[in-house]
């Protein structure tokens, strides 16, 4: 969630499926930018609500489709190791699934810093 230009001081993110709340982990990347993650327990539509300074965004809920575990497969050496300054290659396959969005995060194991690519 990028709220740097909003002037807001607080962001809250909640996720639910069939009205059941799902735990969300928030990590601050820098001032005004947080990454939120959740682990779906079941496939299906999950609703994501984002509130900035207590005000729910008008476009909420965002709908996220979680696929069955066997529907997505990632392969390649870059999933286990990669060298700084060299291209790291891996492949993500959606088996019989619709188009989706893929975000890639890289973590520096020395500093535990995370960056969205």
Report mean pLDDT in 10-residue bins for the chain, 117 residues: 82 93 90 88 92 93 84 76 77 68 68 65
**pTM for this structure?**
0.64
Q: Are 50 and 64 in contact (CB under 8 A)?
A: no
Helix/strand/coil (H, E, C) string of 81-95?
A: CCCCCCCCCCEEEEC
Q: What is the pLDDT of residue 96?
A: 62
Kindly list the distances between the CA atom of residue 12 and the CA atoms of 40, 44, 70, in Å, as whole numbers in the listed order.
18, 23, 31
Q: What per-residue confidence (pLDDT) applies to 17?
A: 95
Instruction: Write down the pLDDT at residue 48.
Output: 95
Domains belonging to the chain, first-starting first, are: 1-66 (2.60.40.10), 69-117 (no CATH)
């Amino acid at each position: 969630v990028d709220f740097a230009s909003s002037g807001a001081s607080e962001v809250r993110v909640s996720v639910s499926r069939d009205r059941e709340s799902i735990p969300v982990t928030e990590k601050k990347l820098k001032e005004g930018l947080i990454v939120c993650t959740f682990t779906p327990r079941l496939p299906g539509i999950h609703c994501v609500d984002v509130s900035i300074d207590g005000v729910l965004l008008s476009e909420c809920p965002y709908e996220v489709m979680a696929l069955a575990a066997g529907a997505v497969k990632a392969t390649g050496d870059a999933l286990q190791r990669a060298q700084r300054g060299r291209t790291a290659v891996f492949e993500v396959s959606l088996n019989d699934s619709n188009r989706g969005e893929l975000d890639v995060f890289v973590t520096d194991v020395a500093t535990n810093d995370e960056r969205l690519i």
